Chains A and B, each alone.
Chain A
Amino acid sequence: MIKMDAIQKTYRTGSVDVAALRAISVHVRKGEFVAIMGPSGCGKSTLMNLMGCLDTPDGGSYLLDGQEVAGLDDDGLSAIRNRKIGFVFQSFNLLPRATALENVELPLIYRDEGGIKAKAAAALASVGLADRTHHKPTELSGGQQQRVAIARALVTDPAILMADEPTGNLDTKASEEVMALFRELHRQGRTIVLVTHELDIARNAERVIHLKDGEVAWESRPEDVVAAGAAGGRP
């Protein structure tokens, strides 16, 4: 599903070039649930932005669902984001004055299709919020807001679901609910990429990619990570 090879990204701060990603290669299979971990500044946000087609790499190849997207222009990337990617953000990013339903409709208004309302309502129902369609975000709990955001990510039936610290703003109980939803989506066959710095959250994934200084440091199964975390070092 995702084949990133020798992807490079360099940021220029002042006169100094900072390599955020140094020829990194990441592959994600269809239906896989992958977590990306690493300390801050390791390049995981940059990797997420590139995977999500929010940004373009300086070098390398990125095959998404069989399509080369590394060289696409802005309109092309917008179309890919609309069709193939569903984003879930740490701070939910819901439009505060729109209802849950209107928030979920948002990606659909950028394509020329009918049946927007029905699709959005179905997506809300699939995250268990069928009875909250006309609530504003402020009338919903944090966990519910994040579930609205997940419905918004799913409404376009994307190839990949990308979640950037989806539980970062949630309490333990809401976090567990949201992660249970991600596990369920994975069970249904969704491809999920999750960025987190929490071991407990990463444990939900099948595979964990550890980044350090813009490179893949190592990969592991979640059980190993937990063991390593407990042992205080790398296996």
Chain B
Amino acid sequence: MKIVTTVRVSLKGLLANKLRTFFMMLGVLIGIAALTVIVSVGQGAKQQVVQRMEKMGAFSAVMVVPGGGVTRGMGGVDTTPPTLTSDDAQAIKAELPDVSEVAMVQIKRDVPVKFGGQSTATVVWGVTPSHQKIRPMPIARGEFFGPEEQSAAARVAILGPDTATALFGNADPLEETIRLDNAPFKVIGVMKRQGASPGGGNLDDRIVIPQATAARRLFNVTHLSQLVVEIKGRDQVAAGAERVKQVLRERHHIAPGMPDDFSIRIAEQMLGVITGTSQTLTIFLGIVAALSLLVGGFIVMNIMLISVSERTKEIGLRRAVGARRRDILIQFVLEAGAVTALGGLIGVVLGVSGALVASRLMGWPAAVSWPAILGAVVFAGLVGLVFGVQPARKAAALHPVQALRG
């Protein structure tokens, strides 16, 4: 018997009892739909994080923060150990040829800020202009400061959009003078809205000023909150990070075997932390989906067993007109495989639509992964083939004489 004919015979068997076929595919359908949603949303979340980090230029950068051991996020200059200095930054730039830029960052939280009658408190970032080359902050209005403002320690400020609204409402903040810790600063720019950072902080509520201004006129400290080092070539980042580490250990006179008094983070690590969490979730939900596929498989097996005993006469007739045991076996296995593959296909369609609707309604990112979908349909078909074997064997084992009696 030709394979095309076999498939057609199997499909006819399925069409003959549509309601039963529907129930057979239901379990697999739900399993695959759930799996598709999980994979799509998970993939979308990961892509979103990667995109956001790429936009920030995070992948070519190495971040150095003071203090060894477990890192504690972005510490302000008043809470971190004073081990990282501008001399470290200059040494890294001078000694490592594969470093293209080094940016110094000083951060202080809860700095009081006033304009007219409005006052609030926000986080102030003092950064060198090179920071804008490594991790550009998008500017909506006005402009970022340059090397002149840095060397002159100019009192200029860029506002995050939330900060601007808090101080100015709908009025234009450009060219206005605000007071940071009572010192006057001229607003020269407002940032574009960026939303949450990959780590979850609000990037829209902050004030950015030149690092020299922060060190000399506002924070009155020389140590840094962060060093951001740009390495030439994105695939060289891990090796570059290692060289930065050696330079700093030497400069800080850390004996071999002793722990670092600083921490180095590269984007891949951060990505790992973020996606690691979602991976655990994905694995858990994947197990749930796999279990529902298993249950779906058992449903298929049981309904196929019922189908075989109801179609005993048909089997007898087919045997009488020349079907071999093998022909009967293949017919029923293919029926089971076709029904679950079809269930998988419908499940994928529902799952993809579900993921897209969810992303539209709830703002979840969703990415459709076609290889995963193909895999899901194939896997669903396999579930049917595997669970169809036993009923099919039962059908094939029927003796023609007994089967004809019904």
- List the interface of chain A (C-beta within 8 A of B): 49, 52, 54-55, 74-75, 78-79, 81-83, 87, 89, 93, 95, 97-98, 106-107, 109-112, 152, 156
Contact = CB atoms under 8 A, between A and B. Distances in A.
A74 B324 contact: yes
Interface in B316-363: 316-327
B320 A75 contact: no
Interface string B172-186: 000000000000000
Interface in B1-27: 1-2, 5, 9, 12, 15-16
3 closest Cβ pairs, A-B complex = A82-B322, A107-B321, A110-B322
Q: Which DSSP category, helix, strand, loop or mixed, fits chain B's interface? A: helix
Contact of A107 (B314, B322, B401, B404): B322
A46 to B, nearest CB: 9
B322 A152 contact: no
Nearest to A96: B16
Given A79-B322, A93-B313, A152-B321, A112 B2 contact: yes
Contact of A83 (B16, B322, B327, B400): B322
Given A97-B16, A112-B1, A54 B322 contact: no
Contacts of B324: 74-75, 78-79, 110
6 contacts: A52-B320, A55-B399, A55-B401, A81-B322, A107-B322, A111-B322
A81 B314 contact: no
Given A109-B5, A110-B1, A95 B317 contact: yes
Given A93-B313, A109-B9, A112-B2, A87 B321 contact: yes
Contacts of A89: 404
A75 B319 CA distance: 10
Nearest to A89: B404
Given A54-B401, A97-B16, A112-B2, A106 B318 contact: yes
Contact of B404 (A54, A74, A109): A54
A109 B321 CA distance: 10
Given A55-B401, A93-B313, A110 B320 contact: no
B321 A106 contact: yes
Contact of B317 (A78, A79, A93): A93
